[in-house]
Every structure is written in structure tokens, then in C-alpha cells.
Amino acid sequence: MTVLTETFRRAHEDNRAALVAYLPAGFPSKEGCIEALCAIVESGADIVEVGLPYSDPLMDGPTIQRAAEQALRSGTTTDDVLDTVSAVAATGAATLVMSYWNPIERYGATEFAAAMAAAGGAGVITPDLIPDEAGPWLGAVGAAGIDPIFLVAPSSTAERIALVARSTRGFIYAASTMGVTGARDSVSNQAERLVSDVRAVTDLPVCVGLGVSNGGQAAHVAGYADGVIVGSAFVRCLLDAPTASSGVDVVSALARDLASGVRVRQPA
């Protein structure tokens, strides 16, 4: 049983969804990111996504782009990302990297997968890599014993969803909209249908991302999904915070609100 499988099993036994939190490594600084993510875990997050900052983030909205640009300007490297994974995984939370394919390819797919395993990482989300083109990567993560996580979207066909389900381990990432990332006033009503379509072909957990920013939204998504993914709302807290310490306080408060939401689990 993998770390992710065990995490979802525990959440299921508690009759709730898992809370998945995202921050890009190196933001607001390397140590600041680690401190914030550890505080988020302490405040109720079950799974952490460590973003690998990239200079051409096609799927990221302006909030995450600003954070990634700041991290890159400060010299954040892939090894810094792996150090962040190691520090957060030491909390016991299932710790992932979310990365575009190009940086992994430059690092070396086999080398990156092995380094993730050595750091205690549980898996890697690759939003711009499709299973059809992921043969070498699937071999690398299989050898390293970590989970490859692919995305489905409202536009995904039944055939595409089935292919993603066959190629993914850990959980399937369901993007609730066709747009870029970012906190929204409401989560797309396409998300529930997408989760239902995925569950028609697999027993893997399904986590919904893109748009959740508060406990009420988390409770709604938790009514039909196995996990609730929150990124831009955490990033916004740190962007708006006047000091690093106040930023940690604010992301902790948000994590507590979201963690309460996934436990309320309002019926869809």
C-alpha cells in the first residue's frame, strides 16, 4: 500500500475527503515555503503538492505565476524543490511534486524519479504530460516506487478518461474548469459530472482542483470528491502578508477552515 493509498483510506474511514495543499517551492523563500507547508500540514492538510517553479507556466493563473516568478528570481533550483519535499515528507504528510514536463526531462526522468523516492516523495503530478507520451516516465516512476498522477478535464472524452485511469496511481486529478488555476467565487458545476465520469471507469480516488478558496467551497466539493485541492488561495495569503511570520499565520488559519470544510462534507 502506497502512502497516498493509505492517506485516502484513513480519510475514507473518517467519512471525509482529503485536503490537498499546494505551494511553489522557493516561495516566499526556500525556508519560508517549508515553514508554511509544515504549518499547513499541522493545521489539517493531508497531502502536499510542492510546485516546481517554471518559466513558462501555461496552466497557471496570475497568482501562482507571480509566486513562481519570485521563486525563480531568488534562484530556486530543482534540488531546492527536492529538499522541500524531504522536509515536508518528514511531517508524515504524503508529499508530491507538481511539475511541467520540461524541467523533469532536463533533470532526467529516471534521475528525478529516484531523487523523489530518496526524498520521501509519494508521487509526481505532470499537468502537461499525457499518458500516450509518458512511456519512459511511467517506467522511471515504476522503478522508483512513486505514483504518476495525470489530469482529466471537462473536455476529456470517455476514452481519454479511461486511458488516464489506466496510467495513473495514487489519485486522478480532476481539473474543474478549462481555464488556468486561480481561486474563484464558486467551483465549476462541471466538476461533479467529471468526477462521476471518472468513477465510472476506476476505483482510484478523484481529487478536484482549480477554484476552491474557503471552507464552504471545500465542503461542497468534498460532497462528491475524494480530495479537495487548494493552491492559489494559499499563495494569495503569502503574497498579501506583510511579513513571513504573518503569512504563516494566515495560511494556517485558511488550512484550518478548509480542513473543517472537508469534514463537513455537504452532500452534492
**Number of C-beta neighbours around residue 11 at 10 A:** 21
User: Which single residue is written with the C-alpha cell 509566486?
Assistant: 67
Q: Is the dihedral of CA 213, 216, 220, 226 positive or negative?
A: positive
- The Cα–Cα gap between 95 and 123 comes to 7
pLDDT of residue 190: 84
pLDDT of residue 28: 97
Alpha helices in 43-157 (DSSP H): 62-73, 78-89, 101-107, 109-118, 135-144
DSSP structural state of residue 223: T
pLDDT of residue 188: 52
User: Which single residue is written with the C-alpha cell 485536503?
Assistant: 19
Reading the chain (268 residues) residue by residue, the pLDDT tens digits are 789 999 999 999 999 999 999 999 999 999 999 999 999 999 999 999 999 999 876 777 889 999 999 999 999 999 999 999 999 999 999 999 999 999 999 999 999 999 999 999 999 999 999 999 999 999 999 999 999 999 999 999 999 999 999 999 999 999 976 444 444 444 557 899 999 999 999 999 999 987 899 999 999 999 999 999 999 999 999 999 999 899 999 999 999 999 999 998 666 5
**Measured distance between the N- and C-terminal CA atoms of the chain, rounded to whole angstroms:** 30
Nearest Cα to 41, choosing from 54, 23, 66, 29? 23
**Contact between 21 and 45 (Cβ < 8 Å):** yes
- The Cα–Cα gap between 222 and 67 comes to 27
Q: Among all residues, which ones are annotated catalytic?
A: 49, 60
- DSSP run (H or E) holding 260: helix 244-264
Q: What is the CATH architecture of 3-263?
A: Alpha-Beta Barrel (3.20)
The DSSP code sequence of 165-210 is HHH--S-EEEESSSS-----SS--THHHHHHHHHHTT--S-EEEES
100 CA to centre of own chain: 13
**Contact between 36 and 45 (Cβ < 8 Å):** no
Domain residue ranges in the chain: 3-263
pLDDT of residue 59: 73
